[in-house]
Amino acid sequence: MKSVVELKASSGSIGESIGTAVFVSSDGLLVTNAHVVTYEISDKVYTFDEYAIRFADSDEYLAANLLDFDKQLDIATLKIDNSKSKSIKIANSKNIKYGDTVYSIGNSLNQGISIMKGVVSNPLLLLDYGNYSREVIRCDLTITEGNSGGALVNEKGELIGITTFRLKDKSGNIEYGIAYCIPSNVVTKYIFDNVN
């Protein structure tokens, strides 16, 4: 649980964006979703003024710095100094199978870090979403607002994905019980290519 934290992005004139972030290295490197740390006005992408994280066992927020983001992949990285975090162990997402039991850990409904249980319904799916084509893991899993950027883990507690989005039906209603996650291999490649 020390590897997954609440994330708050804020700007005075815009307001707040609430989500989750995951520690992926012992030096304070965090991964989350790009849509949590950015906002759009008239098709232009902007970053928030401030970012802060909070551990599950703490009342205080710690300042974080945004390093980089990719809207197409919906991945972003942040970093904090003097981290007391424990980085999560990352597994190979190619080993995910149909029917695997998985757990989503995140800041569900902005009520603190919590955990949900589900199963993999498709271990690798190419899906068009938000003007982009993305590789995702589809899970029968309940996620809510605030889970974005959270950890998808296997039964060993290893990171196999990052929670990213839910779809809407033709009437614009959210389809509950189905979650899409970025495979861990996509995340690690992004970190390797973009974080020094």
Q: Which residues are catalytic?
A: 35, 74, 148
DSSP string, 118-173: EEEEEEEEEEEETTEEEEEEEEE----TT-TT-EEE-TTS-EEEEEEE--B-TTS-
Alpha-carbon separation of residue 66 from 48, 76, 87, 102, 171 (angstroms): 9, 8, 18, 29, 35
Q: In this structure, what token pair is assigned to residue 196?
A: 């020094």
Token pair 């589809």 is found at 138
Rounded to whole angstroms, the Cα distance separating 7 from 106 reads: 10
